[in-house]
């Protein structure tokens, strides 16, 4: 069970932590999550498929994403998620912040990053078993997958299917 730092409504650390899935964040309390949209030189997007044993959105496709752990900042969390979920080791300079969202109903600040990189899918390693598959999709395929409910909710999706 991982620990999260608790932030206030102005994104200040409260110096308190909570256990994921144990503590229910109250009004005015937030945690930080990240999404990393990987885009190759063909302008395709790398999606990963969630494992069947995930609590939500089983077997649906999404960009690499996750919650940051206590003591991490969003960059450190994004680098860890890339390493844990697909075995990708990159430098922090390769990540570009696309947008920061405050999602009150989910008690989350979501940092959305892009990573421009050509990756050979056969070289990916699904280290933590949260992800079971990966694929490159173009914008038309991404839109089709969205319309067919094959994607887990992804806040920044409109940046890529419009």
Q: How confident is the model at residue 160 (pLDDT cuts 50, 70, 90)?
A: confident
Q: Looking at residue 26, which CATH number applies to its domain?
A: 3.90.79.10
Query: Residue 73's domain spans which residues?
Result: 3-161
Q: Note every long-range contact of 138-141, with CB atoms under 8 Å and residues 24 or more positions apart, other chains counting.
A: 138/42, 138/43, 138/44, 138/45, 139/43, 139/45
At residue 97, the pLDDT reads: 98
Cα gap 97→75, rounded to integer Å: 9
Taking 80 as the threshold, does the pLDDT of residue 151 lie above it?
A: yes
The pLDDT tens digits for 95-137 are 999 999 999 999 999 999 999 999 999 999 998 888 999 999 9
Cα gap 121→49, rounded to integer Å: 13
Cα gap 27→22, rounded to integer Å: 16
- Number of separate domains in the chain: 1
Cα gap 11→29, rounded to integer Å: 9
Give me the percent of the chain exceeding a pLDDT of 90.
Answer: 87
28, 39, 45, 120, 161 from 117: Cα distances, Å: 37, 6, 10, 10, 19
The token pair at 8 is 């206030």
Note if the pTM is more than 0.85. yes
């Amino acid at each position: 069970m991982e620990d999260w730092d608790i932030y206030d409504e102005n994104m200040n650390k409260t110096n308190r932590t909570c256990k994921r899935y144990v503590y229910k964040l109250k009004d005015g309390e937030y945690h930080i999550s990240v999404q990393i949209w990987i885009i190759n030189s063909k302008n395709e997007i790398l999606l990963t498929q969630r494992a069947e044993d995930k609590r939500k959105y089983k077997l649906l496709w999404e960009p690499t994403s996750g919650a940051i752990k206590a003591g991490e900042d969003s960059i450190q969390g994004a680098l860890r998620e890339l390493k844990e979920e697909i075995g990708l080791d990159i430098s922090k300079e390769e990540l570009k912040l696309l947008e920061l969202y405050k999602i009150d109903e989910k008690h989350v600040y979501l940092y959305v990053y892009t990573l421009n990189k050509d990756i050979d899918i056969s070289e990916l390693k699904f280290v933590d078993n949260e992800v079971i598959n990966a694929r490159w999709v173009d914008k038309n395929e991404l839109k089709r997958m969205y319309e067919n409910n094959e994607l887990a909710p992804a806040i920044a999706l409109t940046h890529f299917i419009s």
